[in-house]
Amino acid sequence: RLEDKKGAEQLFIHAEKNQDIEVENDETHWVGHDRTKTIDHDETVHVKHDRTETVDNNETITIGVDRTEKVGNNEKISIGANRTEDVGSNETISIGVDRTEKVGSNEKISIGANRTEDVGNDETISIGANRSESVGNNETISIGADRSESVGANESIDIGGNQSTSIGKNESRSVGQGRDTSVGKDDSLDVGKSFTLNAGDSITLVTGAASIRMKKDGSIVISGKNITIDGSGAINIKADKNVVMKGRKILQN
């Protein structure tokens, strides 16, 4: 139907059933204003070579049910500004080989409930500057085999409550320079078998006005107010040189 009335010009084509259009070469469509297309059932578009679609302004795609997109080779998405992705329920991403994710500036991940991360083989985390990790409640770390931790500079550990360390076998510590230990209250050391304390220059035990000092030259000085030596068995004193005893009185049984 052809309508030539001014202001209501129209070309109307109606096919009672099918319509087939065949173009042997190129086809060009130009629409001066809006275009609306309605398909009551399915649509199939087959492009045997490349396809380019350009939208100069905004684009909105609404899919009522499911959507499946398959790319036979590579896919590249370039977004000039921001991107927001909203998934109303679950999301599953499956990558057959490697994945590289690069963030030029900051990244923030917010998880409303739990998170589980499973790495089948090795994992490497590299942080160029600082890292801060905050756990609001408990944290449990389970390592099936060995663990190695290397800190290039200083390390500080601050524990607000108690700390308990359980080692199933041996423990070895190596300190390159000095070591200071401060205990606010009591300190207890319980050794099941032998105990060896070795110092290169001297060992000094001090409590109040009493002290015992041992030096590497073999001299031992015991200082205090009252000194008592009480042995349930024999007490042997042996010296290669003189034994000197000084006091206001020396009492012997």
Q: Is the pLDDT confidence value at 209 over 90?
A: yes
CA distance 94 to 223: 75
Alpha-carbon torsion (218, 219, 225, 227), positive or negative: positive
Q: Is the pLDDT confidence value at 36 over 90?
A: yes
Give 210-243 pLDDT, tens digit per residue.
999 999 999 999 999 999 999 999 999 999 999 8
The pTM score is 0.52
Give the model's pLDDT for residue 2: 74
Give the model's pLDDT for residue 94: 82
Q: Which residues make Cβ contacts (< 8 Å) with residue 13, sequence separation at least 6?
A: 1, 19
pLDDT category at 92 given cuts 50, 70, 90 is confident
Q: Is the pLDDT confidence value at 44 over 90?
A: yes
Give 112-170 pLDDT, tens digit per residue.
888 788 878 887 888 788 878 887 888 888 888 888 888 888 888 888 888 888 888 99
